[in-house]
Structure 1
């Protein structure tokens, strides 16, 4: 599993110009079951995505399709981790 930490590199008005395209990208990745959770940071300096991509290489290829990446609007930090404990509702993540 992976945590993707996006940090914006530009003003929010520029981010907002590509926000709908970014949401379309997220929706596609949810449909492909690559992403589990996503959302904005507070303050709004970027976002966080939780991914169950099969490998870091696969995830890097997925990120290349993000309009924020294509238009050089955000930096991406990927952290891989192995979930070992979760709430009952999220048990499927570690099975």
Structure 2
């Protein structure tokens, strides 16, 4: 039986609350596992497949490598642009 977006959103909210509480209690490994589960569920809700995620990661790595090279030429005072934007 397929789950509705509302049900999945409710599960996401619960997982995020669990992650917050565990983070406050310094249970790092479990927080990391929950973060992966949350990402996986968000991808399913938004219709993002593994190939798209891999392409994003590859692009971020290329961008980070070129940014690192150019940063060595620039001053460290300039703000860095964000690589990702969280979508809820």
Fold conserved (TM > 0.5)? no
TM norm structure 2: 0.29
Higher relative contact order (CA 8 A, sep 6+): 1
Which protein shows a greater Rg? 2
Q: More helix by proportion, 1 or 2?
A: 2
